[in-house]
């Protein structure tokens, strides 16, 4: 986690379990809980949608960009890794 956190523009990293409960984080508690809950719901819906299209497939990576931030999500079988970045040019 420290290697990822040390990269330019990284605001924080959160690892949540399969139930959406944060296990490790580099962010404050309220932000962690907010991100963990919302991202867990999003990952479950995205995973379900992909499986509806092709039952043999699964979600491997999800990237969300806005004008200010970027969120990269790597869902695994038992955990979800979430990384938030500040957009380039805003750093």
Question: What DSSP letter does each residue of 56-88 carry, written as one string?
Answer: T-----EEEE-SSEEEEEEE-SSEEEEEEEEPT
Instruction: Give first-to-last CA distance, the chain, whole Å.
Output: 20
pLDDT, position 83: 87
Task: Round to whole Å and give the CA distance between 74 and 70.
Answer: 13
Tell me: the pLDDT tens digits for 41-67?
999 999 999 999 999 999 999 999 998
pTM (predicted TM-score): 0.82
Tell me: the pLDDT tens digits for 19-41?
999 999 999 999 999 999 999 99
Tell me: the pLDDT tens digits for 65-90?
998 889 999 999 899 998 888 766 55
């Amino acid at each position: 986690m420290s290697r990822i956190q040390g990269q330019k523009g990284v605001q924080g990293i959160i690892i949540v379990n399969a139930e959406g409960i944060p296990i490790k984080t580099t962010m404050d508690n309220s932000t962690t809980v907010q991100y963990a809950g919302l991202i867990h719901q999003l990952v479950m819906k995205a995973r379900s949608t992909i499986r509806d299209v092709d039952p043999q497939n699964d979600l491997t990576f999800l990237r969300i960009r806005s004008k200010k931030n970027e969120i990269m999500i790597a869902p695994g079988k038992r955990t979800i890794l979430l990384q938030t970045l500040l957009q380039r040019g805003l750093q």
